């Protein structure tokens, strides 16, 4: 069966779905979303034109508000800019969820560099013992870190995870409900995150991504390369920076 090139798979399973689900997002019964979704493309065009004319950001914003927000106060101008940011944040989350859902389709999960590829090359070259010896002396250490401005609140992470699953199943009802939740869930926390908050955020990734994936990798190696014998060498190690003094958090001090 003919397989589409990667770029076509991406366009079909990521870009096309993004445009479809983004249109659903715009139709949600929130006035601010509806208004913002309609104005953002207009603002984008004005930004492109203004940039080419070498206009200043203030000139671009003033022209936009004069044209589309009649007699807007300074506060109203600021408000629409913040709404644009909030809207784009949610578009990014939607795109990420679609991309995650389509990852096994867009990418060849058993292609060059995969565990299966390594195993088959080893079989062809008849060097299974050499591969086992290498793995017995090899390990990789993945260290997780976070910056106070670079992680989503727990509620948003949960929505992303559920949204990804709903997109995989093409469950439009669930997708619409999750997009509605996304529209009402704040991305910005009122209080500055502490090292503990960073740790809690990364623990979510440990539980939902790394533990499962690490187990699957080791299980595959044990079954297909070590012939179901136990692997004494810790192939995968996980490091954790939050709470230490190496993650750049200004609230982590020598005390």
Report the largest interatomic distance among the alpha carbons of the chain, rounded to a whole angstrom.
77
Q: What's the rounded mean pLDDT across residues 111-118?
A: 87
CA distance 9 to 103: 10
Per domain, the residue ranges of the chain are 1-107+152-188, 111-151+193-255
What are φ and ψ of residue 157, in 5° steps? -60, -40
Q: What is the mean pLDDT of the chain?
A: 85
**Do residues 239 and 247 touch, judged by C-beta distance below 8 A?**
no
**Band of the pLDDT at 14, cuts 50, 70, 90?**
very high
CA distance 146 to 240: 10
What mean pLDDT do residues 65-90 have? Answer: 89
Torsions phi, psi of 143, nearest 5?
-110, 125
Residue with the two structure tokens 């230490």:
244
Global pTM reads 0.77
Q: How many residues does the chain have?
A: 255
Q: Report whether pLDDT(8) > 90.
A: yes
Q: What pLDDT, on a 0 to 100 scale, did the predictor assign at position 152?
A: 75
Terminal Cα-to-Cα distance of the chain (whole angstroms): 63
Q: How confident is the model at residue 57 (pLDDT cuts 50, 70, 90)?
A: very high
pLDDT for 44: 94
pLDDT greater at residue 2 or residue 122: 122
């Amino acid at each position: 069966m003919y397989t589409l090139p990667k770029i076509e798979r991406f366009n079909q399973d990521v870009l096309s779905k993004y445009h479809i689900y983004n249109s659903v997002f715009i139709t949600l019964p929130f006035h601010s979303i509806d208004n913002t979704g309609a104005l953002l493309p207009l603002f984008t065009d004005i930004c492109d034109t203004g940039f080419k004319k070498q206009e200043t950001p203030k000139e671009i914003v003033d022209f936009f508000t004069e044209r589309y927000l009649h007699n807007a106060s300074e506060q109203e101008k600021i408000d629409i800019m913040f709404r644009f940011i909030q809207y784009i944040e949610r578009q990014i989350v939607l795109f990420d969820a679609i991309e995650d859902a389509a990852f096994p389709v867009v990418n060849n999960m058993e292609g060059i560099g995969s565990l299966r590829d390594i195993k088959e090359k080893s079989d062809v070259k008849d060097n299974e013992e050499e591969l086992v010896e290498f793995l017995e002396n090899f390990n990789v250490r993945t260290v997780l870190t976070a910056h106070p401005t670079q992680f989503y609140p727990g509620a948003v992470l949960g929505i992303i995870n559920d949204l990804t699953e709903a997109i995989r199943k093409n469950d439009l009802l669930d997708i619409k409900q999750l997009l509605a939740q996304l529209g009402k869930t704040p991305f910005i926390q009122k209080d500055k995150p502490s090292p503990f908050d960073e740790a809690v955020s990364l623990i979510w990734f440990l539980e939902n991504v790394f533990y499962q994936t690490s187990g699957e990798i080791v299980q595959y190696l044990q079954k297909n390369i070590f012939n179901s014998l136990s692997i004494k060498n810790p192939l995968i190690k996980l490091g954790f920076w939050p709470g230490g003094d190496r993650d750049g958090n200004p609230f982590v001090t020598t005390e």
